[in-house]
């Protein structure tokens, strides 16, 4: 079976509003255009996964059961919008921990590739931080930086292939580049 191209997405600041240590499933708020963006990517033949650093877990700010429920609800909401998110990968480690799963390391992307038979060379990592961009590059994928929260200027990491204001614009750019 041939390997599939994917778009692996960060969660906070990419799909949902970054509320910093979201621990309440009822507070999930989707960013504008995300459902349309993921439908476009789906229609272009990409499978979709989420990779999210979650330092709120070891800080005691996010309960693992709530994290699982948040991911279940996000997956269900996208499914109701016609979009299948294959899996959620999280790294519940502190920001100073160099664990292979914690971005900028590629562990979550490599895990998604193993689980789903992904072709990382034909895939994209999309997020709002340069650590997302770097995780994509370390996994052998292309990367997209969203918004203005983080900048490729003065970053120790290589710049993204695409820098877009939002996920919908990024989706159109990804599709245009193949």
Number of C-beta neighbours around residue 29 at 10 A? 9
Q: Could you tell me which of 5, 16, 10, 6 has the C-alpha nearest to residue 90?
A: 10
Q: Residues 12, 128, 132, 150: which is the catalytic one?
A: 12
Note the pLDDT tens digit of each residue in 8-35: 999 999 999 999 999 999 999 999 999 9
Q: Pairing between strand 85-91 and 142-146?
A: unpaired
Q: How does residue 178 score in pLDDT terms, banded at 50, 70 and 90?
A: confident
Residues 6+ apart with CB under 8 A from 68: none
Considering the entire predicted model, what is its pTM? 0.97
Give 90's strand partners.
52
Q: What is the mean pLDDT of the chain?
A: 97
Residue 4 backbone phi and psi in degrees, to 5: -105, 145
Q: Is 68 a catalytic residue?
A: no
Q: Is 11 exposed, middle or buried (0-12, 13-18, 19+ CB in 10 A)?
A: buried
Note the pLDDT tens digit of each residue in 27-72: 999 999 999 999 999 999 999 999 999 999 999 999 999 999 999 9
What the chain holds in terms of domains, given with CATH numbers, is 6-177 (3.40.50.1000)
Q: Residues 10, 128, 132, 150: which is the catalytic one?
A: 10
Q: Is 26 a catalytic residue?
A: no
């Amino acid at each position: 079976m041939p390997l599939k191209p994917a778009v692996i997405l960060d969660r906070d600041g990419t799909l949902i509003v970054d509320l910093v240590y979201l621990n309440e499933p009822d507070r999930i708020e989707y960013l504008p255009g995300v459902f349309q963006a993921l439908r476009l990517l789906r229609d272009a033949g990409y499978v979709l996964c989420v990779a999210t650093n979650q330092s709120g877990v070891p800080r005691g700010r996010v309960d693992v059961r709530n994290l699982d429920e948040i991911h279940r609800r996000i997956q269900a909401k996208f499914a109701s919008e016609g979009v299948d998110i294959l899996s959620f990968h999280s790294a519940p480690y502190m920001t100073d921990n160099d664990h292979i799963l914690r971005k900028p390391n590629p562990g979550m992307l490599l895990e998604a590739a193993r689980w789903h038979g992904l072709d990382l060379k034909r895939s994209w990592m999309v997020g709002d931080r340069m650590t997302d961009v770097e995780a994509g590059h370390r996994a052998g994928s292309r990367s997209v930086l969203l918004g203005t929260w983080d900048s490729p200027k003065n970053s120790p990491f290589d710049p993204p292939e695409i820098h877009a204001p939002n996920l919908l614009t990024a989706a159109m750019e990804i599709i245009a580049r193949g």
